[in-house]
């Protein structure tokens, strides 16, 4: 998979102590992830547990203050994926983000959740036999984008090409190629399929470019 320079931020001088920068593919491959593709960038101030359960395609950027809890379950990211600052991914039931999909900022994706009915104890400090965690996979199709501050609950599939507006709560699966928003998320209208043509154009361009060297 060829790489793209727009995924790189310029180093500012003088050094900004608040900007901890990103780990890149070569270094990430030494950390114990299941797989790391090319041109992967993960902010150094993110918090990621369960590296052997995490598979990363190519052209991925994970920004600052993202928390990924994958000590059980799995996380699979395809190609051309962005996870914006401040997202939380609870991976117990398995989370998949397909090619060209992304989470903007401050989104929580849960593939496991406590029992809120009162029939079981809650939170991870109590022994498993007293709690009743619902575990179910979350799957985001190709070209899905999720708006700021949204929450996605276990068992949800978001069909290819759909978008979810800011501050939405997604409790049930969403069909393909729709624009959705709200609590719970409802379909507003159809979403344009122009992204398919653009992705094809990008893939053609990427296959004809010489492989780019990572920025120093
Ligand atoms: C859902 C969204 C895609 C709809 O955009 P749009 O097609 O341009 O729709 P409009 O702005 O015309 O809004 C249509 C109606 O829905 C309401 N609405 C829009 N987004 C909403 C949301 N997220 N939640 C609740 N209501 C929303 C609007 O107020 C408007 O209501 P009205 O008909 O009573 O005036 C957009 O509003 C949104 O939430 N985008 C996400 C942006 C984001 O999170 N960016 C982060 C950085 S990438």
- The pLDDT value given to residue 3: 52
Q: Is the distance from CB of 161 to CB of 142 less than 8 angstroms?
A: yes
Q: Is the distance from CB of 166 to CB of 157 less than 8 angstroms?
A: no
C-alpha of residue 76 to centroid of ligand 1, in Å? 29
Query: Helix, strand, or coil here: 113?
Result: strand
Q: Is the distance from the beta carbon of residue 85 to the nearest atom of ligand 1 less than 6 Å?
A: no
**Topology (CATH) of 18-208:** UDP N-Acetylglucosamine Acyltransferase; domain 1 (2.160.10)
Best CA proximity match to 109, nearest among 131, 133, 92: 92
Q: Is the distance from the beta carbon of residue 179 to the nearest atom of ligand 1 less than 6 Å?
A: yes
- Residues 6+ positions from 131 with CB-CB distance below 8 Å: 114, 115, 120, 121, 122, 123
What is the value of pTM for the model shown?
0.92
C-alpha of residue 165 to centroid of ligand 1, in Å? 6
Q: Is the distance from the beta carbon of residue 104 to the nearest atom of ligand 1 less than 6 Å?
A: yes
CA gap 59, 81 in Å, rounded: 7
- The pLDDT value given to residue 14: 86
Q: Whose CA is nearest to atom 2 of ligand 1?
A: 165
Give the mean pLDDT per block of 10 residues along the chain (216 residues). Answer: 52 83 98 98 98 98 98 98 98 98 98 97 96 97 98 98 98 98 98 98 90 48
Best CA proximity match to 204, nearest among 193, 196, 216: 196
CA gap 102, 49 in Å, rounded: 20
């Amino acid at each position: 998979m060829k790489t793209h320079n727009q995924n790189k931020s310029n180093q500012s001088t003088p050094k900004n102590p608040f900007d901890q920068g990103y780990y890149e593919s070569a270094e990430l491959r030494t950390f114990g992830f299941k797989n790391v593709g090319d041109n992967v960038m993960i902010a150094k101030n993110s918090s990621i547990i369960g590296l052997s359960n995490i598979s990363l395609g190519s052209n991925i950027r994970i920004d600052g203050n993202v928390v990924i809890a994958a000590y059980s379950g799995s996380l699979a990211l395809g190609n051309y994926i962005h996870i914006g600052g401040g997202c939380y991914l609870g991976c117990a039931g398995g989370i998949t983000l397909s090619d060209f999909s992304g989470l903007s900022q401050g989104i929580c994706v849960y593939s496991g959740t406590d029992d809120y009915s009162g029939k079981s104890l809650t939170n991870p400090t109590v022994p498993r036999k007293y709690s009743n965690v619902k575990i179910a996979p979350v799957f985001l199709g190709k070209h899905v984008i999720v708006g700021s501050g949204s929450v996605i609950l276990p068992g949800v599939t978001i069909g290819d090409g759909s978008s979810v507006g800011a501050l939405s709560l997604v409790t049930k699966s969403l069909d393909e190629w729709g624009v959705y928003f709200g609590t719970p998320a409802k379909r507003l209208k159809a979403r344009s399929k122009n992204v398919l043509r653009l992705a094809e154009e990008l893939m053609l361009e990427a296959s004809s470019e010489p492989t780019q060297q990572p920025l120093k």
